[in-house]
Amino acid sequence: MIAASFVLVALAGLGFGYRLLVGPSLTDRVVGLDGLLIVGVSAITLQAMHTGEGSFLPVAVVVTLVGFVSTAVVARYIEGRGR
């Protein structure tokens, strides 16, 4: 069941990566990047469930925080700049 979750998360990562590379506006790229961060946190959690070893999990907390800060910073940037 965890292997199936890995497959689903990897497919989601492909979709978000497509939007990050293609997305016409800067907002689209930020959306793709946010999605990739979510995929990364999910993958860390699934790996911890698979191995039963939780020593990598604080990274998930840090990635969550960094994702929020980067989104806020890019939002300020877009506000002044436009495209």
Partner 1 sequence: MGPFLALIGSALTLLAALGVVRFPDVLARMHALTKASTVGLVLVLLGGALTLDDTNAITSLLLAGALQILTMPVGANLMSRATYGARGIESTVDTVDELAEDLAANEPAADDSAADR
Residues that bind partner 1 (CB under 8 A): 1-2, 4-6, 8-9, 11-16, 18-19, 25-28, 30-32, 34-35, 38-39, 41-42, 45-46, 48-49, 52, 54-55, 57-58, 60-61, 64-65, 67-68, 71-72, 74-76, 78-79, 81-83
CB of 49 vs partner 1, minimal distance in Å: 5
In order of 54, 73, 76, the CA distances from 80 in angstroms are 42, 12, 7
Spatial contact of 36 and 13, defined as CB atoms under 8 Å apart: yes
Hey, what are 66's tokens?
């960094």
